Amino acid sequence: MPDVLLDPQLLAILTIAGLVVSLLLAVLLFVVARRLAALRREHAQAFPDSDEDVVAVLSRHTTQLATVREDLGTVHANTERLRDLLRATTSRVGIVRYDAFEDMGGALSFSAALLDEHGSGLVISAINGRSETRSYGKPIVRGESEHHLSQEERAAIDAAIEGRPPSTIHPEPRRKRRAS
């Protein structure tokens, strides 16, 4: 092969171009090395006790997140079951005390409503007189009964549904009769 002589000017241009490219690559290498060092510091701060790389850590976290989602679904299902059970338990109580007879004082008689969330349950009444006490229980479905409800029983049911505290019904004073 014959010796090819390059033009000295072309050789100088190629040398300068090679130096410029080498300098640019050195600057790029420096920037990449600094960024890599910063990423390593951030990784060490984010995962201080881990020798794993980011991909392995993210994979482990993804698996753990799936487990948490399954557990959350189980908790949600259990909560719904408990909520259904609670709907049918006695959660509303109302009680009204009163004087069942004119000659008795002290509000010794009472009606107590024991209802669930839907207003169903029972109302119990105890009528106290001087010589005897009578007790009655009536089923309640959605705030109503197939049996006749007294004013006091109705008041106890309303108090239970509305969440009012126990109360006492005082009879209205009777008018005295005029002597004829």
Percentage of the chain modeled with pLDDT above 70 = 92
Where residue 175 falls among pLDDT bands split at 50, 70, 90? very low
Per-residue pLDDT of 54-93, as tens digits, reads 788 788 889 999 999 999 999 999 999 998 888 888 889 9
Name the more confident of 119 and 172. Answer: 119
What is the CB neighbour count within 10 angstroms for residue 172?
Answer: 6
What is the 8-class DSSP label of residue 175?
P
121 within some domain: yes
176 within some domain: no
Looking at the structure, tell me whether residues 28 and 69 fall in a common domain. Answer: no
27 within some domain: yes
Looking at the structure, tell me whether residues 152 and 124 fall in a common domain. Answer: yes
* pTM recorded for the entire structure: 0.55
Mean pLDDT, the chain, rounded, equals: 86
Number of structural domains (the chain) is 3
**Which ranges of the chain does DSSP label H, i.e. alpha helix?**
8-46, 54-87, 151-162
Looking at the structure, tell me whether residues 103 and 164 fall in a common domain. Answer: yes
pLDDT at 174: 46
3 within some domain: no
Contacts of the segment 82-87: beta carbons below 8 A, 24+ positions apart: 86/117, 87/116, 87/117, 87/118
CA max distance for the chain: 158
Where residue 6 falls among pLDDT bands split at 50, 70, 90? confident
Report which of 149, 86, 83, 102 is spatially closest to residue 122, judged by C-alpha positions: 149
Per-residue pLDDT of 88-130, as tens digits, reads 888 899 999 998 877 777 788 999 999 998 899 999 999 988 8
Q: Evaluate if residue 2 carries a pLDDT over 70.
A: no
Cα–Cα distance between 80 and 51 in angstroms, integer? 42
pLDDT at 78: 94
